[in-house]
Amino acid sequence: MINTTGGDTSSEQMAEAKPVAMAPDADEQLLEWPMKDNRPFLRAVFRVSDLDRMIEFFTECFGMKLLRIRDVPEAKCTRAFMGFGPEQSSFVLELNYSYGVISYDIGGGFGHFAIATQDVYKMVENVRDKGAGAVVREPFEVKGFSIVLAFVKDPDGYMFELIQRGPTPQPLCQVMLRVGDLERSINFYEKALGMRVLTRIESLEHKYAIAMMGYADELETTVLELTYNHGVTQHSKGNGYSQVAIGTDNVNKSAEILNLIIQELGGKITQQPSLDPQIKAKITTFLDPDGW
């Protein structure tokens, strides 16, 4: 999803739209647009079963702050925005609670969110002491990389990777999604969204390949971690994880390039540029070739 501001939106507002045909010369000019656009990662949106419990978990275990909370009666939901800094300059989590819904299917395609911390061991102990989440893997050093990682789950079962590193402007540093064709996904995010490959890792032993995609050095900003498991071309998405929002200087141009690249690589525009009256901003929404 692309959004002109840090305001909120949800996948329920998506509406199908037809692709726009363009002349070849216009195509060539549009291909340059994503690299010139200013595109910060804004937030990740996912659905939760108990908003108060999740707010308490994220503040007490991870040290996040409740930035704002917004009840939307017309949509029968309440949204809480959690982060390590203000929405204007930080990647945040939007927790979406739908009235009366007490469980969600996370699916096998969503991987994890990642948090960079100076003390993985302390954060793991916070999770263990509070008892609301679960420690999935104790802190361990990655062989050959001199980095300490751990994995924990929040009360709804969403996985969080904890990464030990020095101070960083974006502690909420990764969103990991599994894809069915890594080269296709890399091409899509490069051409349609102007990202670049920051790191590539492949393990023949464990049968996976990873591409870190983003707009700046991976130690300084949030990135998408796209993971391909050898031979697996489809993943279940469930209904818990929703979307990532990305800022743009021009929604109309961004939608045009999306229309062009989707014709080449797959995906789907789900809402052509239009004003969202709730956040007073123009947005366009889309699915990538894997349906994310």
Specify binding-site residues for Zn(2+).
94, 112, 161
b/e per residue 125-154 (b: at least 16 CB within 10 A): ebbeeeebbeeeeebeeeeeeeebbbbbbb
Selected catalytic residue, list 87, 161, 225, 256:
161
HSE-up of residue 215 (Cα within 13 Å, Cβ side): 18
Question: Helix 120-130 to helix 51-62 angle, to the nearest 10 degrees?
Answer: 140
HSE-up of residue 194 (Cα within 13 Å, Cβ side): 23
CB 161 within 8 A of CB 149: yes
Catalytic-residue membership of 12: no
The angle at the Cα of 241, spanning 39 to 51, to the nearest 5 degrees, equals: 105
Specify binding-site residues.
94, 112, 161
Q: Which residue has the tokens 């490959």?
A: 197
Q: Which helix (H) or strand (E) holds 171?
A: none
Q: Which of 151, 154, 123 is nearest to 137 (CA)?
A: 151
Nearest-10 Cα torsion for 213, 269, 247, 160:
-50
Give the C-alpha separation, 140 to 150, whole Å. 6
Question: Any residues with CB less than 8 A from the CB of 204 and at least 6 apart, and which?
Answer: none
What residues are annotated to the active site? 161
